Structure 1
């Protein structure tokens, strides 16, 4: 029997009544699905350009599906479909913003990580600043650069970390469940990035802090995504950080 995953738990929390999809946008860096709200996810395509063996099912008519049907794409082993699925999940979630603080995840990591061992899964722009404020910073990446560790080092480094920060992109490549299992029970665990589902499901699965995004100006965001913007270039989004109650 296959293991019940975080994605399964997220899908189980979505509304039963089908919600129409207003639009789907797949940009170079970000994917957006607009239904109840505009949900974002990192665009992950794969290793090969124009890989015609793996195509998005029903591309061209995705906007005719319900948001729940698109959300099921999150279970796909094809990363681009999974990106669309996570964006669809995020378009349907509604977490009470009164329980959040408007703060960048990097600030939280620098405050909590001072003098401690931090394992960070995913390469973020704030890494040089974070490295200066923590005891040890172990950055794990599927495609490591000079100071990064390969993803295979996770089983060695994550259990030793006082603080573990996981990119929400690990939901898209289906590694998050395993990464959470590697965390020391006493570690502070954060899930971060604009792809992060703002859902208590992540607390139930061991996260202490959930740091994601909420789209305020849909038009601004969609224009930026369509023109290949990185997240730093996107306007019309606010960052929200929730702590386990």
Structure 2
């Protein structure tokens, strides 16, 4: 597992410290609000009450700067790492005018028509994509019927013409390795609300990054605090950017 991409994301954050306004770790989603409200998947610990899953400085995270919290992204503790990725996302600046109106599933169907497609993460659109492509391989840490386990990635991804990788792979520090498995000519999409909208991902082989922008912070925090899945969260705009 590697954290080179996270380290690059951290080095590209604003130098001037930005105070954290709030931190919320919900069942499914984590939010950190500083310059903006950033989101990341909550990776629940495998063992409840395991000491290794304790979050450092819990109860005082909102007293830190966003840059300090962003460094949590390097932690092997996935709850801390999720807080860190959300903090990174809360600091990123980008021009919405550069975004394209594109649905990630539509891109995968168009680019994957007659080709081999690998998707890391079990997304809701998978049945639709499966009908439109030659072969669809889904790689998932918690596989359901038809999925492949995470350790199958090294066999599957090098054979794929189109690869879609969940941005939450940054949280468990697998994104670097997954991108390294892609063949040079593969079309690569990094997607999901955890995905940092940063050119750093283009530098590492992404053709499209599809992330999110919180446009109604109150609505998002209310939903997350009440255990919402992403489909239940309102106040978020999905944005996709293509490699320049």
The SS at the match of 1:186 is coil
Counterpart CA distance in 2 for 1:233 and 1:3 is: 32
96-105 vs 59-68, greater mean Cα deviation: 96-105
2-side partners of 1:109 and 1:36: how far apart?
32
Counterpart residue number, 2:116: 117
- Matched ranges for 1:1-245 at <5 A: 5-245=4-244
Deviation at 1:104, TM superposition (A): 2.7
Count of matched residue positions in the alignment of Structure 1 and Structure 2: 244
RMSD: 1.2
Instruction: Structure 1 unaligned segments of length 5 or more: list them.
Output: none
Give the 3 Å change call, closer, same or farther, for CA 204–27 of structure 1 in structure 2.
same
Distance 1:48 1:143 in 2: 15
Q: Say if 1:120 and 1:140, in contact at 8 Å, map to a contact too.
A: yes
Kindly provide the CA deviation profile for residues 57-94 of structure 1, in whole angstroms up to 9, marking residues without a partner as x: 00000000000000000000000000000000000001
Does the aligned pair in 2 maintain the 1:102–1:238 contact within 8 Å?
Answer: no
Q: CA deviation at 1:46?
A: 2.1
- Ranges in structure 2 where 5+ consecutive residues have no aligned partner: none
- Residue pair 1:71, 1:86 contacting (<8 A) in 2 also: yes
Query: What is the CA–CA distance in structure 1 between the aligned matches of 2:226 and 2:105, rounded to whole Å?
Result: 26
- Scaled by the length of structure 2, what TM-score is found? 0.97
CA distance in 1: counterparts of 2:235 and 2:132, whole angstroms:
30
**How far did 1:116 drift?**
1.2
Q: Distance in 2 between matches of 1:78 and 1:159?
A: 29
The structural deviation recorded for 1:143 is 1.5
- For 2:129 and 2:208, the matched residues in 1 are separated by 17
- Secondary structure at the aligned position of 1:11 is classed as helix
Of stretches 170-179 and 106-115 in structure 1, the one that deviates more from structure 2 is: 106-115
**In the aligned structure 2, how far is the partner of 1:117 from the partner of 1:79?**
31
